[in-house]
Amino acid sequence: MEHLYNYSLEELTEYFQSIGEKAFRAKQVFQWLYQKNAYDFQEMSNISKDLREKLEKNCVIDQFEIKEKQVSSDGTIKYLFSLVDGNLIEAVLMQHDYGQSLCVTSQVGCNMQCAFCASGLLKKQRNLTAGEMVNQVMAVSKDTGIRISHVVVMGTGEPFDNYDEVMKFVRIINHPHGLAIGARHITISTCGLVNMIERYSNEGIQTNLAISLHAPNDEIRDQLMPVNKAFNMDVLRKGIQDYIEKTNRRVTFEYILLDGVNDSLTHARQLAHYMRGLNAYVNLIPYNSVDEHGFQPSTNVEAFKDELLRLHINCTVRKEHGRDIDGACGQLRAKRSGVI
């Protein structure tokens, strides 16, 4: 069976031509999928009965099963989805004053093994297809009746470890005949795969790049993020500088504040020094505790932020979402899998 969410419009056009159909029929079906949220081929009233029957026989419009749904008092909704092969993944819908943002998962599990992260409690089983990422957006939109305006690929997994499928996903949801989510409303987060950042800089698309930094120096980052041993902070900075020069796009540094680990004023000064001269800003993140890791949320968030501002570093503190539910990436899946 052909899984239609896995097709870009260009690929769908090629498929339709291969089965003897006119190219414009692919555009019609693509619009039914994404602009009219059709889940049944019989809804597609402007295509022939013969084509609808052909599609029924050979194609499928996937619908994820919602295994669990947690709703926070702040409006955040965390979903646990079951895939066709029985694997579980998460997605999180967050309410902002600028719209509805969905945090999308790109892999089943994660091999990056960041010391503070619940996602790495379960190692990578496989990459998600572009269609499985699209399906997260469609399933949440169907469940809530809400149009998703922003997408962040920051859920479980390292997006640049699944590069081709993530970029295909981005182009499907960005397409004007699809969901038409603006490129500047799409953010991809990486823990720092510098070779892939270079590749990403050549994509020619105005999506946003976020770097999971979480440390002001190599000593701390080596302890928190094993990827730093492959791409240390100097190498990472050079890669980011090259990306900014090539794309003229501002970069976000994500920085989780861990009590007594990376949250002192000295650390703030080191971070400011590292960022000097880069077109970038810091998104400070209050930590959602994962008992298995032993880290605690920082009590120094405001002082850390004030020190960065004093040193002329643009920064914000991320509004906490889902504090009263399993808010951290991977927590709900890990619980259901018996890891925590």
Of 189, 102, 171, nearest to 137 (Cα)?
Answer: 102
E strand or H helix at 81, and its extent?
strand 77-82
Q: On the CB side of 280, how many CA atoms lie within 13 Å of its CA? A: 29
Model confidence band, residue 325 (pLDDT cutoffs 50, 70, 90)? low
User: Same domain for 244 and 150?
Assistant: yes
Is 58 a known ligand-binding residue?
Answer: no
User: What is the mean pLDDT of the segment spanning 260-272?
Assistant: 98
Share of the chain above pLDDT 70, in %: 92
Model confidence band, residue 318 (pLDDT cutoffs 50, 70, 90)? confident
Give me the pLDDT at residue 338, please.
Answer: 47
Q: What is the crossing angle of helices 23-34 and 9-18, to 10°?
A: 130
User: Same domain for 296 and 318?
Assistant: yes
Q: Whole-model pTM?
A: 0.93
d(CA 175, CA 51): 24
Q: Mean pLDDT in the chain?
A: 92
Model confidence band, residue 327 (pLDDT cutoffs 50, 70, 90)? low
Give me the pLDDT at residue 1, please.
Answer: 86
**Alpha-carbon torsion angle 9, 196, 108, 58, nearest 10:** 20
C-alpha pair distances (Å), 292 with each of 50, 91, 120: 56, 22, 11
How do 88-96 and 99-103 pair as beta strands?
Answer: antiparallel
Is 45 a known ligand-binding residue?
Answer: no
User: Same domain for 303 and 329?
Assistant: yes
- Of the candidates 16, 32, 60, which is a domain's last residue? 60
- Among all residues, which ones are annotated catalytic? 90, 329
pLDDT at 77 over 90: yes
Q: Helix, strand, coil shares of the chain as percentages rounded to 5? A: 40, 20, 40
User: Same domain for 16 and 112?
Assistant: no
Model confidence band, residue 36 (pLDDT cutoffs 50, 70, 90)? very high
Share of the chain above pLDDT 90, in %: 85
- Of the candidates 44, 60, 76, which is a domain's last residue? 60
Model confidence band, residue 339 (pLDDT cutoffs 50, 70, 90)? very low
Is 103 a known ligand-binding residue?
Answer: no
User: Same domain for 132 and 94?
Assistant: yes
Number of domains comprising the chain: 2
User: Same domain for 201 and 277?
Assistant: yes
**CB within 8 A of 44, min separation 6: which ones?**
28, 29, 32, 38, 52, 55
Q: Which domain holds residue 34?
A: 2-60
User: Same domain for 7 and 89?
Assistant: no
Is 189 a known ligand-binding residue?
Answer: yes
User: Same domain for 112 and 156?
Assistant: yes
Give the CATH number of the domain where residue 163 resides. 3.20.20.70
Contact at 8 Å (CB) between 66 and 83?
no
User: Same domain for 127 and 167?
Assistant: yes
